[in-house]
Amino acid sequence: MVDRIINDAELFIDGTKLPSEGKFEVSFKHGQREFLQDNKEIHGFTEKTEFPFIKGKVVFKSKSVFDMVEQATDSTVALKGDNGKTYVLKGAFRNGSMGSVSIGEGAAYDVEFRGSELTES
């Protein structure tokens, strides 16, 4: 579930601005329910927590930008949106695999940061 889509924003990791482009997705912590069933009826549900995330395209203009994203653990990721709001994700880490990437102008890749707490101000 995506709570917000921000059309233009500035992305920061631990206070350092990263080159980025395009839209960002922001999602707050919430519960996810799935029902339990057999062939005849529903027997209830299970619930798990979906932790907050900030997701968008980062441009790997240099190896130092790549290293900062790759090594992000227990970081503070901030997104300053064109909507006047700032989203701060605490205890953040890069989620998923980076795979094969190119370094240089125009090398934009989807990156998702997950964390323990997301605030909006």
Alpha helices in 1-121 (DSSP H): 63-70
Predicted pLDDT of residue 113: 96
Q: Which residue has the tokens 């964390």?
A: 115
What are the domain boundaries of the chain?
4-32+46-120
Predicted pLDDT of residue 15: 95
Average pLDDT for consecutive 10-residue bins of the chain (121 residues)? 77 94 88 86 88 92 87 95 92 86 79 95 94
- Positive or negative, the Cα torsion across 59, 63, 67, 70? positive
Predicted pLDDT of residue 1: 56
pTM of structure: 0.81
- The CATH fold assigned to 4-32+46-120 is Elongation Factor Tu (Ef-tu); domain 3 (2.40.30)
**Gap between the Cα atoms of 20 and 87, Å rounded:** 16
Predicted pLDDT of residue 45: 86
